Structures are given as C-alpha cells and as structure tokens.
Structure 1
C-alpha cells in the first residue's frame, strides 16, 4: 500500500530517476534510452546492465492504472513486467509481477529459479520502496490543476504568450489550487479566468506530472456548461480545438507533452461513443 492517490502513485512509478537510483544499490544500472528526464511514456526504451549482461525493454503502457514493459533484447527469451495500481480509499494498492523465460545454461532450471528469482524479488522490493517514498512526498504538496476540455471530440489547447522561453508553446488551461479551494473549484475558476467560460468537471485523466517547482500537476476532464460558448485567449496568445490526430503536431510544453498518449486515448474513446461531427 502507498499512502497517496492513484494518479500520484502512477506518476512516481513512471519517474525515470527514481527507478535508476533504486536499482543502482543492487548493482543494476538502468537508464532511459528514449525517455524524457521526468516521466516514461509508451514506446520509451530502457537499458539495464546486470553484471556482464544488458537487457533492453520497451514501455507498452504508462498511466494511472499502472505500467508495463516487454523485452526488446537481452539474454532472456522473453520478459514481461507489469505493475498494476488500484485505489483503495485514500491509498493505492500496488501489485507487481514479472514473467520471463530464459535459455537454460550450465546451472539448469534450478539455477534459473534460485538466482533469477532472488534478483527479481530484490529488484521489485527496491523499486517499490523508491516509488512509495516519492509518491508519499508528492502527496503532501500543493497541487496545480490542468483541464482537458472536450467538445465534439476535440481538445481545447491554449498557446502561451509569455515568458519568452515558453512563448508560442501549447498547454492545457489551469493553475494552482488556492487555500480553501477544492480541485474542482480551482478548475472552474482557472477556466473562467483564462478562457472566459464556465466548465463542469467530469473526471480525472492520466497520472500526475511533476513540475519544476516540485508541485504535482493533476489533470481533470471537463465540459463547457454552455456548449455554444466560445473560449477566448484572455491570458494567452491563442486557443484552438485539436482532434486526436492533431495533438502531436502542436509544440506542447514538456509537462503537457508527457500526457499526450492519455489525451489521445481519451479523445479516441469519446469519439467511439459519440463520433465527432
């Protein structure tokens, strides 16, 4: 059990440096080959060096439900890793599993079980300790909310005008949760301030995303209270509605880009129920 919400535990699980630090103590040296400095996304590859052997794995999924990876190359015939998350009250239950098949060397089946199983159990224990510590640290911090507003199967994005380092890049509307506010109240207030529209929160999306200031960004989904209202760029340079196929074409801020796979799947699921006009 982790004393943190599901989305926060999911973010800690995706955090690359946490895994690298935890495994290094066991002599397992891991590094992201294609992943970002912060959170892993599907398609990222990781390399692990254990003694004279190197394993490369690819992330298959990474969201609030957990994380999975499969073997790309290495001395094993196959390897599948799954960490499944489930909300239990205010806490998160974590279930870890690793399945592998290996060519039987000089030690045979007994050596594979005795040595391989012991190493795997040590790796899983070290990883969950690191994930728990990071998630519980984030859970105690102030939260920034982001809002995925959907209309007609499209997502609302807004373009930054400042500061200069971020000008021209895209992000979801949102901001810090003020003292005494709930997250839903912050979503409603921020959308009114930044877009001049009233929204109705409808759920949660993806995992938290760690910001440079140490606060977690937490994404909520929402709909316009009045679908005929037109959001406008009150504090930004521009706003636009983007279809699932258009999301990758926008120059997103890095904190929002790691959410694109969750945003795309959310829009695709919405369109499967109610096809866009």
Structure 2
C-alpha cells in the first residue's frame, strides 16, 4: 500500500489541478498534485516537499479532508487529501504537462485520475 498525499490548493476562489505527463503512471490524467510519503515524513511535510519538487511553489496545508484506498489493480494507494493555501512562487512544471486553476464546477470537465474522484465529494462538503 502506497501512502500518497494530495493538495487541494486554493487561490482566488479557484482550485489547482495538474495534468500528468506522458511519462508518468496514468499518463495525461488530471489530478490534485502531490506524491508519496517518504520514511520519517509526516503528511504535511510530504505535501510541502512534493509541491515544491513538482511545481516549485510554497503552500501551507491547513485541513485534512479525506483519506481513502484506491486499487489500480497493479498497485494500491491510500490517498490523503488536504486543503492548502497558496503562499508564494510561480508555477514551473517540473514533472507535469499542464496545470489549470479552475472552479469547483469545472472539475467535471476534466479526466481526473480515478483515485482523485472521491476527493471531489469531500471537497464539496468543505467548500459549502
């Protein structure tokens, strides 16, 4: 079981999503960015590190909103989602192909990674 954290980064009443590159697992799927926890890291530390490594921006995780297991057949992840505030920096796509700031309602227009879809339900509860 792989422990993965993802960031729901909010800026100007929009949410950041990133498109996976062709070279990544789940190529070209959209996702809430994040990554795997490393040994000795807590969830917030991993999230801050991963977002800096992938997008070159600073964030502040504020609230854990969900945790669920998703089975991709060849691997299983426990996806842990956090609401995060954007702090600083200009996005640089260091691993992803593209990114967008979108409204909650626009999420349905994007081909999200399967594990990210249940996060939307929890996100909706926290945005109201």
**Within 2, Cα distance between the matches of 1:231 and 1:171?**
15
TM-score (norm 1): 0.42
> Partner of 1:257 in structure 2?
117
Alignment RMSD, CA only? Answer: 1.9
SS at match of 2:76: coil
Structure (1/2) with the larger helix percentage = 1
Q: How many residues of Structure 1 are paired with residues of Structure 2 in the alignment?
A: 126
Deviation of 1:263 (Å): 2.4
Deviation of 1:187 (Å): 0.4
Deviation of 1:182 (Å): 1.0
SS at match of 1:210: strand
> Partner of 2:40 in structure 1?
180
Deviation of 1:164 (Å): 7.4
Deviation of 1:165 (Å): 6.9
2:57 aligned with 1:194, yes or no? no
Equivalent residue runs for 1:87-98 within 5 Å = none
Please tell me whether the aligned partners of residues 161 and 167 of structure 1 are also in contact (alpha carbons under 8 angstroms). Answer: yes
**Within 2, Cα distance between the matches of 1:166 and 1:180?**
27
Q: What runs of 5+ residues in structure 2 fail to find an aligned partner? A: none
| Structure with larger Rg | 1
Equivalent residue runs for 1:67-216 within 5 Å = 143-163=3-23, 166-212=26-72, 213-216=75-78
Equivalent residue runs for 1:34-49 within 5 Å = none
Structure (1/2) with the larger strand percentage = 2
Please tell me whether the aligned partners of residues 33 and 51 of structure 2 are also in contact (alpha carbons under 8 angstroms). Answer: yes
Distance 1:266-1:152 versus aligned 2 partners, 3 A rule: farther
Distance 1:180-1:257 versus aligned 2 partners, 3 A rule: same
Larger RCO, structure (CA 8 Å, separation 6 or more): 2
